[in-house]
Amino acid sequence: AEQVEARRFDYLPLTRIQAVSELPTDQALFDTLVVFENYPLDIDAAAERGLTVSDVSAIEASNYPLNLLAYAGDRIELILPYDPAVFDRSTVEGLRDQLVRHAESVVAADGSTTLAGLDPLGADQRHQVLGQWNDTARDLTRLNLSEIFRSQTERTPDLPAVVCADDTLTYAELQARSARLAHLLIAEGVRPGERVGVALPRGIAWLTAMQAVVHAGAVYVPLDPTYPADRLDHMVGDSGIRLVITDEAAGATVATTGVRTLDPALVEHTQLPDGLPEVAIELLQPAYVIYTSGSTGRPKGVEVPHHGLSGLLTVPAELLGVQPGDRVLQLASTSFDVALLETLMALGRGAALVLPAPGPLAGEALAQVLVEQRVNHAIILPAALATLPDVELPELRSLIAGAEPVPAGLVARFGRGRTMVNGYGPTETTVAASFSAALDPDADTDPSIGRPFANVRVYVLDGWLRPVPPGVVGELYVAGDGVTQGYVGRPGLTAERFVADPFGVGGRLYRTGDAVRWTAG
């Protein structure tokens, strides 16, 4: 009985050992094991006794999905046994080639190179990850945010621009309202580059105020009135706002000590021109300031220039197929940068922005809005998407599910019959840095975060800022048009997270802190 029990445990995988141990499930016993096995073989002593050893070989059985065996002799023989259920052959062949390349580098360096000095990439891989997979350069017409809104109004003045409850405004009507408020802001002393807060709930007044700030050449700072008062206090004080556009209801939640407030309803009682003011707005001038969630400390204000918005406009046009006359849902908090992408998806393409009632929206209430408002395109975070009941959404043609991991099960539920993509991007890279292609609802693995879009580059680097090979985990750095100007009033943190780009033609990289790896594709 003891022999039988011992044999059973010979074949017990480490995963089973951990499962029955008291260790937490996310804590591995170990992840790397080095075993030195020395089988002494004295060829000369064997020959003295008339024995000839013609060959020595061994087969190692292992619980581990990947092994490296080294046999020393006149030549070093390296063998990489692997579990094909865990690794594909191309990945292991890449590891083999990398080992050979390192060995050749060590020999060529004649002992003068440290391990950290070895280049982890060959020439082909370097071209692939730095050039081929980052070949995103596009010659785009670069517009500031005011010009984006203005030019679309010129193309589609009579199409619906915003739908809110029973109220609908055309592009021309929305622009006229925002133009009058922009003139009022200028009359109140707002100057180009000045930060202006907007503390209004989701609705036409909020959208009008946001556009008015931009048309006045000022910097839009969204202040979601549903946020806690102390967070709003911090955002107002930290950003240096002197004027907040708000109404009587929302204004009670915004700190007003030393801050003037302006009710947008004043435009209804004031004689103001409805033509857009002529204000010079440079592309590198900030368009808006968005505050991070503060999940890793005090919320930080990110100053986002107009420069990266034109590349972002290619996403709804080319990836999602947004057309004039379509309907785009505005679901995100106004203080979340996704709200700007939703706005650009609609008002940068001639579609209508659908504004539901203020407040969080999920479950059956969200499904009702999608159906009754005939929404064609939406950005829905996976957590909210998972609350949707199984309901037919025949009008919904495209869906972005990003900002957090997207489980394959959600893709299976909502990816059929429409274009569903995964998106990724920190606020510091102008909303987004990468998007996947259309997701496969029959795939049994969670989707990747895709690849960079127009004029964005992404690098997966090790601790020495060297690109790592496909399949190897490194830190994600983002370069290109979308890299923002940094953090409001925090030059030290800006210098730490925004570093010089050693691969491009100047510019900076944003260090995301996120661990990623290139897939084989």
Average pLDDT value for residue range 202-208: 95
Spatial separation of the C-alpha atoms in residues 298 and 139, rounded to whole Å: 38
- Residue 8 pLDDT greater than 60, yes or no: no
Residue 416 pLDDT more than 50?
yes
Give per-residue pLDDT as tens, 440-472. 999 988 999 999 999 999 999 998 889 998 888
| Three-point CA angle 290, 164, 336, nearest 5° | 15
Do residues 346 and 369 make contact, with C-beta atoms less than 8 angstroms apart? no
Report the chain's terminal Cα–Cα distance, integer Å. Answer: 52
pLDDT at site 117: 75
50-70 per-position pLDDT tens digit? 888 887 777 767 778 888 887
Q: Which residues contact 474 (CB under 8 A, 6 or more apart)?
A: 460, 461, 462, 467, 468, 515, 516, 517
Q: What pairs with residue 372 in β-bridges?
A: none
Place of tokens 């489980």: 407
Alpha-carbon distance of 110 to 85, in angstroms, equals: 39
Stronger pLDDT, 85 or 179, i.e. the higher one = 179
Q: What pLDDT is stored for residue 103 in this prediction? A: 82
Q: What are the C-alpha distances in Å from 158 to residues 169, 179, 349, 355, 416?
A: 9, 17, 14, 19, 33
Q: What is the maximum span of the chain, computed from C-alpha positions, in angstroms?
A: 113
Contact present, 198 and 209 (Cβ < 8 Å): yes
Question: What is the average per-residue pLDDT within 256-261?
Answer: 77
The DSSP element (H or E) to which 231 belongs, if any, is: helix 229-239
Q: Which H/E stretch holds residue 78?
A: strand 77-79
Query: What percent of the chain has a predicted confidence (pLDDT) above 90?
Result: 61
Cα angle 477, 346, 334; round to 5: 65
Least confident segment among 20-24, 142-146, 352-356, 479-483: 20-24
Angle of helix 338-347 versus helix 145-155 axis, rounded to 10: 30
CA pair distance 376, 194, nearest whole angstrom? 36
Residue 397 has pLDDT above 50, yes or no: yes
Q: Given its phi and psi angles, is residue 34 left (phi above 0), alpha (psi -120 to 50 degrees) or beta?
A: beta
DSSP structure class, residue 277: P
Cα 262 versus chain centre, distance: 35
d(CA 389, CA 366): 9
Residues paired with residue 293 on neighbouring β-strands, in sequence order: none
Residues 457 and 436: their CA atoms lie apart, in Å, by: 14
Q: Which tokens in the block code for residue 270?
A: 């004031």
Q: What confidence category does residue 301 fall into, taking pLDDT thresholds of 50, 70 and 90?
A: very high
Contact 152, 317 (CB under 8 A): no
CA 503 – CA 158 distance, rounded (Å): 46
Residue 481, pLDDT above cutoff 60 = yes
- Give the pLDDT confidence score for residue 383 in this predicted structure: 93
Confidence of residue 104 (pLDDT cuts 50, 70, 90): confident
Mean of per-residue pLDDT scores for the chain: 88
- Would the pTM count as exceeding 0.95? no
pLDDT digits (tens, 9 = 90+) for 220-245: 999 999 888 888 989 999 999 999 99
For 336-399, the DSSP string reads STHHHHHHHHHHTTTPEEEE--SS---HHHHHHHHHHTT--EEE--HHHHTT--S---TT--EE
Q: What is the CA radius of gyration of the chain?
A: 29
Sign of the CA dihedral 197, 199, 203, 209? negative
- pLDDT beyond 90 at 393: yes
pLDDT at 248: 84
**In the prediction, which pLDDT does 1 show?**
44
Minimal CA–CA distance to 263: which of 277, 275, 251?
Answer: 251
* Cα(464)–Cα(444) distance, integer angstroms: 35
Judge whether residue 346 has pLDDT over 90.
yes
Spatial distance between the Cα atoms of 196 and 218, rounded to a whole number of angstroms: 7
328 strand-pairing partners: 353, 377
Question: Which residues have C-beta within 8 Å of that of residue 427, sequence separation ≥ 6?
Answer: 290, 292, 302, 304, 337, 484
Enumerate the β-bridge partners of residue 399: 378, 420
Q: 3-class SS at 12?
A: coil
Q: In the predicted model, what is the mean pLDDT of residues 259-287?
A: 91
Report pLDDT for 18. Answer: 64
